[in-house]
Structure 1
């Protein structure tokens, strides 16, 4: 019978990120030899790449990198379980990737995967190797890199025991750390999709207008009033998704637009990532 303890299983699990039963089986196969068990798990992970491709990476984290106040990046890196999400090796991988992405100048997650992070090794291959070692499907999600007058971020942990799962990057036209923090936290909490009404795609507006008109007619509103009612409902609905139109969470009497005007600051752009959400 293989000679190993529960502590050995725990240590192997922490080192590799593999499941408890996989660790027990590896130690049994290795007859208690810890290093051999590590190698068994890595080999098994490499063989299971095809199987993992069909699995869902719904957990993970948001990692950030800053190189001065005007240069910041966010990267979403996904895995299958929250156990791996808080694994030190997984976190280190995410931190390495977001720093590399920012410094290499890639413009998208697709470009990042193709980039050579080590001589003869792409980021995609590095992620595949990490996936084989850890034993879970790992994915690069969304990426944002802002360079401007002032860039700030906010990372939110929904669970104190886990790494951040929501991240915000915001660019202002002038430096103001307090406003940047307030706006970033607003974006994290209220999840706006657009900066201004002008950014909303026409097809989104038309779809909402059609729904509002159908609802209004079903309510039996007078024909002469329908157009005005529909427009009001569309604007009210879409206002929730426009950052500048949202009520400031710290002071509901003013909008974000008013907050910015009071401080002489403008938001140039923003990005919000929440793990598992598109």
Structure 2
């Protein structure tokens, strides 16, 4: 009996879109033969999308669903083309996935895919996805989801660009009124526009700082203007550049995009809103999804493709 490794299961899962346990079972049944395992999954109706395996699903939509103002979930569902992303059938499916996510107790995408589908409990989420692939005719992927629950305040949400970016902000506050809600929606818009990585500088890990300092140091060493400078001067320049970078990646340090004076930071804006409404107000955390981020998109060269076909 061949040893079935995690890498083999991962490869089969990527090729077929079938569940992890289904892939492992198929590999065990076929003694690790990848092609035979694909056939097993196809025969079992678990790999209807196998012909799409070589394609890249990097388009799609982000959608947000909420239960009141305490719980919200954001999902990213990918398609191969922007044309399908604009299709009403696909959009309705993404909305349903978001509803599934906001009501889910899953702790990861694998367990999420094995849940009973909210629109038909006889199917899993994975099976609903496979059915939708068969209908639409493109490779689709439920890439990720995240659920946010506010224990001491509320959640604010914002979707930008028709679904290109989805943001959830968890606000901690003792006052919930229209002015405070509007302020947190503005913060969500800020996050969509400027893509911070952290809430505050205190959240930045020492590892991140050390890594960035190494990069900045290498850049400075190649700068002719810094050649021969004392170590103390170089260290000051490194710290200066790092602090500047942290202001860009930390939400509270960023200049508020709607600041009338062009100088007010997000932290100062939140403090102003808190004072005006007699509130203790802060941002506990945020989640930002952007469609296709981190996915290497295939670059199509139509002329080269036609030429290659003619040569064949």
TM-score relative to the length of structure 2: 0.69
Distance 1:231 1:131, change over 3 A: same
1:256 aligns with 2:273: no
Question: Does 2:69 correspond to 1:59?
Answer: no
Residue equivalent to 2:142: 140
Contact 2:197/2:249, CA 8 A, preserved across alignment: yes
Aligned partner of residue 249 in structure 2, secondary structure: coil
Runs of at least 5 residues in structure 2 that lack an aligned partner in the other structure: 1-45, 275-280, 295-312
In structure 2, what is the equivalent of residue 102 of structure 1? 102
Cα contact 1:62–1:76 (8 A) shared by 2: yes
Shift of 1:107: 3.4
The answer as to 2:248 corresponding to 1:232 is no
Aligned residues of 2:48 and 2:130 also touching (Cα < 8 A) = no
Distance 1:142 1:105 in 2: 14
Query: CA offset at residue 105 of structure 1?
Result: 2.5
- 1:123 matched to 2:122: no
The correspondence for 2:221, drawn from 207, 217, 221, is 217
Post-superposition offset of 1:96? 0.9
Indicate conservation of the 8 Å contact 1:49/1:132, yes or no: yes
1:97 CA displacement: 1.2
1:92 aligned partner = 92
> Is 1:168 aligned to residue 167 of structure 2?
yes
Alignment counterpart, residue 271 of structure 1, candidates 287, 292, 296: 287
Moved over 4 A (4+): none
Residue 30 of structure 2 is matched in structure 1 by: none
CA distance in 2: counterparts of 1:47 and 1:169, whole angstroms: 34
Aligned residue pairs, count: 229
Cα distance, 1:106–1:80 mapped onto 2, change above 3 Å: same
Q: Is the 8 A contact 2:47 2:130 kept in 1?
A: no
For residue 207 of structure 1, report the CA deviation from its aligned partner: 1.6
String of CA shifts for 1:76-133, please: whole Å, max 9, x gaps. 1110111111111111111111112211332333331121113342111110111122
Alpha carbons of structure 1 residues 69 and 53: separation in structure 2 relative to 1, 3 Å: same
Q: Which residue of 2 aligns with 1:242?
A: 250
Cα distance between partner residues in 2 of 1:198 and 1:49: 45
8 A contact 2:74–2:101 mirrored in 1: no
Whether the 8 Å contact between 1:142 and 1:273 is mirrored in structure 2 is no
**Cα offset for 1:169?**
0.6
Q: State the Cα distance separating 1:48 from its structure 2 match.
A: 6.4
How far the C-alpha of 1:47 sits from its partner, in A, is 8.1
Give the Cα separation in 1 of the matches to 2:238 and 2:267. Answer: 25
Aligned-pair Cα RMSD in Å: 1.9
TM-score (norm 1): 0.77
Deviation at 1:58, TM superposition (A): 1.0
